[in-house]
Amino acid sequence: MLEFQNVSYTVPEKEILKNISFKIEDRFVAITGPNGSGKSTVAKLIAGILQPTSGRIIFDGVDITDMSITERAKAGVSFAFQQPVRFKGITVRDLISLAAGKNTSVSEACEYLSEVGLCAKDYINREVNGSLSGGELKRIEIAMINARGTRLSVFDEPEAGIDLWSFQNLIKVFERMYERTKGTILIISHQERILNIADKIIVIANGELADYGEKDKIFPKLMDVQSGCRYTKKA
């Protein structure tokens, strides 16, 4: 479904990602690694926010390397920011309707909001502005991605800012999302409880693909990553 072919990303005087290749065809895939390793850069390259310096990105057999954010969204890629964007003058219901690609009914919008632990009547007509907390924005963004129902949904640290809402509920949202779309959910996270739902785990360290494989194979190796040490492959 999604393939990175020798992808690198460089900014002046620094190589952020170095010749990364992987192929994703699973339900849940997690990307993890030390802070500053390049995980969020991978997500932004998938979404089209950044363009690779070299290499190709293939999605459902189509080369999307040079596609814009809008073109990738139309092709079936959704992206949830680590820090959600605020939209002054736009209501929560407006955003969900835009995400769904139709004028959603109040009951439909309420269903998406309820799934992420928000009381629909308190939020449906609120503006997506500075009056909302980071945690509220994060949940609204997850509801939007759920409403889109695309083939690939990318979440950059979705657990951030949802301390008042349990991880178990977040995981249930991802599971229901998969049941609707039968696509792939790609999650960038350090959290063990989120990594535990992954079918496969990708480890990024020092801008390189340090490891990739089944969760049961990769998970025991992650102590070095979580402590911020260089990840090394084991035989």
Flag whether pLDDT at 42 surpasses 80.
yes
Inter-residue contact 28 to 178 (CB < 8 Å): yes
What's residue 162's pLDDT? 64
Cα–Cα distance for residue pair 163/159, rounded to 1 Å: 8
What's residue 135's pLDDT? 79
Cα–Cα distance for residue pair 142/139, rounded to 1 Å: 5
pLDDT digits (tens, 9 = 90+) for 100-145: 888 888 888 888 898 888 887 888 888 888 788 877 888 888 899 9
- The reported pTM is 0.87
Inter-residue contact 13 to 126 (CB < 8 Å): no
Given the structure tokens 């309707």, which residue do they identify? 97
Strand-pairing partners, residue 169, are none
Query: 3-state DSSP call for residue 213?
Result: strand
pLDDT digits (tens, 9 = 90+) for 139-191: 888 899 999 999 999 998 887 766 656 677 888 888 889 998 899 999 999 88
| Residue among 78, 232, 65 at smallest CA distance from 155 | 78
Question: Mean pLDDT over all residues of the chain?
Answer: 87
Cα–Cα distance for residue pair 233/75, rounded to 1 Å: 35
Cα–Cα distance for residue pair 137/131, rounded to 1 Å: 10
Cα–Cα distance for residue pair 215/29, rounded to 1 Å: 9
Inter-residue contact 109 to 96 (CB < 8 Å): yes
pLDDT digits (tens, 9 = 90+) for 47-65: 999 999 999 999 999 999 9
Cα–Cα distance for residue pair 231/220, rounded to 1 Å: 12
Give me 228's structure tokens. Answer: 């911020």
pLDDT digits (tens, 9 = 90+) for 70-107: 999 999 999 987 666 777 788 899 889 988 888 888 88
Q: Taking the CB of residue 210, how many other CB atoms lie within 10 A of it?
A: 22
What's residue 121's pLDDT? 81
Cα–Cα distance for residue pair 49/41, rounded to 1 Å: 9
Chain centroid offset of residue 42 CA: 10
Cα–Cα distance for residue pair 189/18, rounded to 1 Å: 20
